[in-house]
Amino acid sequence: MHRLFSLLVVPLLAAATVSTVGSSAAAHPSKPFPARIALPDGFTPEGLTIGDGTTVYVGSVLDGAVWRGDLRTGRGSVLIPGTPGKPKAGLELDRRGRLWTADFYTGGASVYDPRTGARLAHYQFNDGSNTLVNDMVITERAVYLTDSVRPVLYVVPLGPSGRLPAPTAVRVLPLTGPGATPDAFNNGIVALPNGDLLVAQMLTGQLVRVNPRTGGSALFDLGGYSVDRADGLVLRGRTLHVIRNLSNVIAVVRLNGAYTAGVVQREITGPQLRSPATGDLLGSALYVVNGRFDVESTPSTDYDIVRVPA
């Protein structure tokens, strides 16, 4: 997340319906999901992830608060209260349902119970100087986190059945090749089916493939298309959504079978996109959070989640 970026606004979409049983349900069709969900004023969001059912979590890059809401009703409240100087960028849920947060300029990551908000673990990667722990991807064996000002990935290995490791188990994976380009601002990250990791470079406008064992990297071929201001990445199958914050564009990319190149099929734009940061998929819809990085955040600045067709 984490999280100075631009997004695209989305047309109002007919939403997914809820399974119903019986004639009375047929007589009262489900209400469409809201196309826009308001977040608390002044929240300054960056990371977003969708959990069980229609539950959504959004983190604040201002003070690290985490808001939990329902995409069906549009209602929600703060699950984890904010603490000044403790911002959160990317959010992700692991396979055991635990909520992970990239703790931005404090140089670490935290793990929470998504029901109670209780912190389960914390991992510190550095001393908190010259660091922006920005986004993450969780695989079966490890959690990988980007640092937007250091040419490294942070790795938290997971034990059998996803067991959380000791704080000392974390390691730093130095990047080589284009992944280590100075001032590239490595940001969003996803895991490709072939075992590589794909990282967005916000300032070079490139995507790079990273070997998670060696840190070696290579450019991902987009046929000359620039993903300038690339922030969040969302992957399903061979379809990749590149959320370009300050450009207010979401690029929809079709990946090749080797996961080494992709073709941009279309761009999603629109007035509802206001510096979108990150997103996640639910059914046929992509939900993105508007970070509004082009305006000064004040206690009265409005923020929201918007729904776009995936």
Query: Residue 19 above 60 pLDDT?
Result: no
231, containing H or E segment: strand 230-236
Calpha distance 40→299 (Å, rounded): 9
> Which pTM value belongs to this model?
0.89
Would strands 249-255 and 119-124 be described as parallel, antiparallel, or unpaired? unpaired
Query: Residue 21 above 70 pLDDT?
Result: no
User: What region, left, alpha or beta, does residue 278 occupy, with left being phi > 0 and alpha being psi -120 to 50 degrees?
Assistant: beta
Residue indicated by tokens 């608390």: 40
| DSSP states along 75-126 | -EEEEE---TT-----EEE-TT-PEEEE-BTTSEEEEE-TTT--EEEEEE-S
List, for residues 194-250, the tens digit of each pLDDT value. 999 999 999 999 999 999 999 999 999 999 999 999 999 999 999 999 999 999 999
Calpha distance 264→304 (Å, rounded): 27
Calpha distance 280→2 (Å, rounded): 15
Mean pLDDT in residue range 131-137 = 98
Superfamily of domain 36-291: YVTN repeat-like/Quinoprotein amine dehydrogenase (2.130.10.10)
Sign of CA dihedral 82, 83, 85, 91: negative
Query: Which residue ranges make up each domain of the chain?
Result: 36-291
Question: Looking at residue 14, what is its pLDDT?
Answer: 33
Least confident of 11-25, 119-133, 233-247: 11-25
In sequence order, the 6+-apart residues with CB closer than 8 A to the CB of 290 are: 7, 45, 272, 273, 274, 275, 276, 277, 303, 304, 305, 306
List, for residues 251-299, the tens digit of each pLDDT value. 999 999 999 999 999 999 999 999 999 999 999 999 999 999 999 999 9
Residue 41's pLDDT band (boundaries 50, 70, 90)? Answer: very high
Query: Residue 12 above 60 pLDDT?
Result: no
